[in-house]
Amino acid sequence: MEQWGQGAGLTVALDALVVEGWLEASLAALGEERGYIDSLNVFPVPDGDTGTNMFLTLESACAAVQQVCEDASALSTTASLADIAAAMSQGALLGARGNSGVILSQILRGVAAVLAEMPPGSTFDAALVRAALRRASDDAYDAVAEPVEGTILTVARAAATGADAHPGDDVVGVVRAAAAAAEEALARTPDQLPVLRDAGVVDAGGQGLVVVYDALLDIVTGVRRSRALRRARPPVRTPVPEHAQEPAAASYEVMFLIDADSEGMTALRAGLEPLGDSLVVTGSPPLWSVHVHVDDAGAAIEAALEVGRPQRIRVTYLPAAPRPTPAKAAGPLTRGLVAVAHGPGVAALLDEQGVTTVPARPRRRPSTAELLDGIARCGSAEVVLLPSDSDTLAVAEAAAEEARRTGLRISVIPTRSIVQSLAAVAVHDPAARFDDDVVAMSRASGATHYGAITVASREAFTSAGPCHPGDVLGLADGDIVEVGDSEFPVALAILGRMLSTGGELITVVTGEGAQPDWVAALEEWVALHHPGTEVVVIDGGQALWPLILGVE
């Protein structure tokens, strides 16, 4: 999204692109910070999954919004703001995970409620931001049976208060004030919760919400700042005295969706409150999401059955309870590869080599659930996961974290292009030790430069200058470095850049839109300018990228 600037008179149309852009930026940022946020997790139980749960919750909201946008595009229309708000709300509700994830879902639902009330033609302005953040905070507090300060709730309320207190009506200033207030409140959380102070960390859920609100600031300013510069000082974990933290009273986390009316949910709240703590109820008739920590999981489910029809019931052992031995994968101890594949040709090639593939659809990365399905289909106790592009890397890490909970041994090799995944697969040795195999595959993928050409779909300012719809873009190692009006000359320029430091093997993956004579012309050019360099051609059939190039 182009930079909006900082003028007080700024007006930006409130539409699906604004909302979708914020959600996608938030998801990308949470993906980067997921592991760090997990490391902060000591309250309400130190199970180390707050960042992962918030990521999965937001991913579900993003997927629902993307689906609505795709459905509208298929009908040659634009998704309405009301449709986007409804999808965002429902997606967050259905995908909510863990205590902080459920609260985040309620925050998103609060924002969605304000968006749904906006008339057509509204602008993204300061009044909207103030109303959305206040509704998000109020709804989050209402969802928690016993609100605790020094948590994500405190950060949400501080952001709303900061937005209200800003004297101007420029949207950038209001969002900046909200983000700053959220960060200040986060820094104070150790003063409000002794368990945080003793562990030397800030609240994990609050840190996650700061990331989400920072992403909104990035969107309205058009400047994506380095996360490392904004992040609070990494936690210095000090030993927690035995008397400083009592063992968790509850042994299980119980979550479920339930169909019930408002009266039924009032009764369910009353029935669950005596059973445990961390009770959070979000949603509205007829569908609700319930999260609670209890000693007796069966009693919690029985209470739900008395008022409605629970579904997607999930019971998780908490750290205070004895953990069962992790389940092992069925069958012998084998090692499998799971790779995201762009195009049917590449998928077929990988399938022939025994790799389990997860298809990447145009303009949409695979979800965590799709990667987990690939891991399950692999059927191995040891798995190497190859995401094949930068956008999927965070999702792959989240999927690996989830799969490890079942006892699987998983490593993610951060391949940022399908050619890097192919290079990794080429050196895979199932007979080698797991760590040795991962190191060899990582070295092979890391030694592979990658490039590609595609066609711009909208105006933007790139590192190679401005581009317009229809311009050909050339990318090298993830950066746009060439802008032209014809595919083949741009491809040659990209390949020349990649070979400037030498290369022994060139991989050319052709996609939709590639012309038959391109490959022969590339091979002639390589033979003339880089004799002795081998060229391997794969008919990938991927959309949007006529050529993907790799140089080893």
Write the DSSP symbol of residue 85. H
CATH number at residue 398: 3.40.50.510
Pseudo-torsion of CA 84, 282, 189, 199, nearest 10°? -110
Considering the domain architecture, whether residues 36 and 134 belong to the same structural domain is answered as: yes
Instruction: Determine the pLDDT at residue 248.
Output: 44
Domain that holds residue 295: 252-277+288-317
Q: Are residues 125 and 271 in the same domain?
A: no
257 lies in the same domain as 220:
no
Residue 188 token pair: 């104070």
In a domain, 70, yes or no: yes
Last residue of a domain, one of 446, 474, 490: 446
Cα 132 from Cα 109, distance rounded (Å): 10
One domain, residues 211 and 268: no
Nearest-angstrom CA–CA distance, 245 and 198: 9
- Tell whether 411 and 514 lie within a shared domain: no
The answer to the question of residue 327 being in a domain is no
Q: Which two tokens stand for residue 477?
A: 């190692």
CA atoms lying within 13 Å on the CB side of residue 436: 5
- SS3 for 375-417, per residue? HHHHCCCEEEEECCCHHHHHHHHHHHHHHHCCCCEEEECCCCC
Contact 417, 521 (CB under 8 A): no
Specify burial of residue 328 (Cβ count, 10 A radius: 0-12, 13-18, 19+): exposed
Question: Which residue in the block uniquely carries the two structure tokens 């709303």?
Answer: 160
Residue 517 exposed, middle or buried by CB count within 10 Å (0-12, 13-18, 19+): exposed
Q: Which of 399, 418, 446 is the last residue of a domain?
A: 446
Distance in angstroms between the alpha carbons of the first and the last residue of the chain: 34
DSSP state of 229: H
Give the pLDDT confidence score for residue 2 in this predicted structure: 39
HEC secondary structure over 450-492: EEEEEECCCCEEECCEEECCCCEEEEECCEEEEEECCHHHHHH
Count CA atoms closer than 13 A to 270's CA, side-chain side: 8
Same domain, 402 and 464: no
Mean pLDDT by 10 residues, the chain (552 residues): 42 76 90 86 71 89 88 81 91 86 93 90 88 95 89 95 92 93 94 88 93 91 59 41 42 85 88 86 86 84 86 73 39 78 92 92 82 91 92 86 86 92 92 88 90 86 85 90 91 90 90 89 90 90 92 90
Whole-angstrom distance, CA of residue 390 vs CA of residue 478? 8
Last residue of a domain, one of 446, 477, 499: 446
Question: Would you say 343 and 542 are in contact if contact means Cβ atoms under 8 Å apart?
Answer: yes
On whether residue 42 sits in a domain, the answer given is: yes
Q: Assess contact for 223 and 3: CB atoms under 8 A.
A: yes
Residue 242 covered by a domain: no
CATH assignment at residue 200: 1.25.40.340
- Two structure tokens written together for 52: 């992962």
pTM over 0.85: no
Residue 56: how many other CB atoms lie within 10 Å: 25
Of 171, 170, 175, the C-alpha closest to 160 is 175
Q: Are residues 441 and 384 in the same domain?
A: yes
CA proximity to 258, closest of 294, 290, 292, 296: 290
Residue 329 falls inside a structural domain: no
72-83 per-residue burial string, b: 16 or more CB within 10 A, e: under 16:
beeeeeebebeb
Same domain, 192 and 107: yes
Lookup: tokens for 531: 């004799």
Instruction: State the sign of the Cα–Cα–Cα–Cα dihedral 198, 201, 204, 210.
Output: positive
Element (H, E) at 70: helix 50-74
Residues 157 and 504: their CA atoms lie apart, in Å, by 58
Q: How many domains does the chain have?
A: 4
| Residue 535, domain CATH | 3.30.1180
Let me know whether 453 and 434 are in one domain. no
Going by the DSSP 8-state scheme, the letter that residue 254 receives in this structure is: E
247 in any annotated domain: no
With respect to residue 149, please indicate whether it lies within any of the assigned structural domains: yes
Q: For residue 183, how many C-alpha atoms fall within 13 Å in the half-sphere facing its CB?
A: 17
103 & 212 share domain: yes
Q: Is residue 239 part of a domain?
A: no
Q: Both 80 and 192 in a single domain?
A: yes
* One domain for residues 428 and 477: no
